[in-house]
Amino acid sequence: MKNLKINIGGVELKNPVMTASGTFGSGQEYGEYMDLNQLGAVVVKGVAMIPWKGNPAPRIAETYGGMLNSVGLQNPGVEVFIEKDIPFLRKYDTKIIVNLAGKTIEEYCQVAERLGTADVDLLELNISCPNVKEGGVAFGTDAKMVEKVTKEVKKRSKQPVIVKLSPNVTDIAEMARAAEAGGADGLSLINTLLGMAIDIHKRKPILSMGVGGFSGPAIKPVALRMVNQVAKAVSLPIIGMGGIATGEDAVEFIMAGATGVAVGTAHFYNPRASWDVLEGIKEYMNQYEIKDLAEIKGII
Ligand code: SIN
């Protein structure tokens, strides 16, 4: 009998596979491709206090080994999320993790507080989106701010709080320690790397905002290195992500120190990617007669 269960901040997930925020909506579009009951958790697109319309198009560009996005945290606001998305997701046997968006500390706190009475399992504090002028990565690249925003959100939240870290820093371990000092219950990393693509015929950047977040298989080595660094720096559970598309990728992240894994960009070319990753993990466990993922977690 294999044990795939993991625990993040006191919440038990039946397996380590999640969806990366922003790549899976709230799951509705994916229901026809895969059974959402298979997932350890659905991590939904960033949710703010009021609706945000996001950045102007073009906001997606394909690149070698990945893609750039500058969506700008478009979302319908927390009330619509509570009314429409939670009842949809609650039909499935999976945990709900809500990615929190805000322009100020107070806005993050307000969303966390509003969700305190909602039926969701965990919160993921998004201080790493590179596509917004206020909030997002502006908070996630300053260790003092990471600690402060984590502390304030923790005071006002009922659910455990995961802090999503940005790779656009010199020392990600410093940010991880700051989140831990602020009372985080877990960490997720990495969000996207700031990148650019240029249309040489139009002589301008492809994305309307000029730059955007780079994700996909090409960033996996960077993500693995950062997960390994953070796993050695803190004792919090880590959700590793960045270019995961197969079970083998996920096993690498677990060996690097991740407790759980999130599948992101792979969903755009394979809507069943998270299911494939889960099956791949099980195959690996069978091949090497691993009974519990704890046997290989952090062995690097
Ligand atoms: C976006 O909406 O711009 C992407 C989300 C993120 O990077 O956190």
Domain boundaries, the chain: 6-53+70-195+211-295
Q: Is the CB of 263 under 6 A from ligand 1?
A: no
For residue 263, the model assigns a pLDDT of 98
Residue nearest to atom 6 of ligand 1 (CA): 129
For residue 23, the model assigns a pLDDT of 96
Q: Is the CB of 257 under 6 A from ligand 1?
A: no
Assigned superfamily of 6-53+70-195+211-295: Aldolase class I (3.20.20.70)
Please tell me the distance between residue 44's alpha carbon and the centre of ligand 1 in angstroms: 11
Please tell me the distance between residue 169's alpha carbon and the centre of ligand 1 in angstroms: 17
Please tell me the distance between residue 299's alpha carbon and the centre of ligand 1 in angstroms: 31
Note whether 254 and 297 are within 8 A (CB).
yes
For residue 205, the model assigns a pLDDT of 98
For residue 133, the model assigns a pLDDT of 86
CA 104, CA 205: separation in Å to the nearest integer? 29
Give the residues of the chain that fall short of pLDDT 70.
none
Q: Which residues are catalytic?
A: 129
Residue nearest to atom 8 of ligand 1 (CA): 129
In which residue are the tokens 């996207």 written? Answer: 192
Please tell me the distance between residue 101's alpha carbon and the centre of ligand 1 in angstroms: 9
124 DSSP β-pair partners: 99, 162
**Chain CA centroid to CA 274, Å:** 13
Q: Is the CB of 230 under 6 A from ligand 1?
A: no
Q: Is the CB of 69 under 6 A from ligand 1?
A: yes
**Chain CA centroid to CA 46, Å:** 10
CA 51, CA 115: separation in Å to the nearest integer? 15
Note whether 296 and 251 are within 8 A (CB).
yes
Substitution candidate for ligand 1 out of 19, 52, 69 with most atoms within 8 A of CB: 69
For residue 31, the model assigns a pLDDT of 85
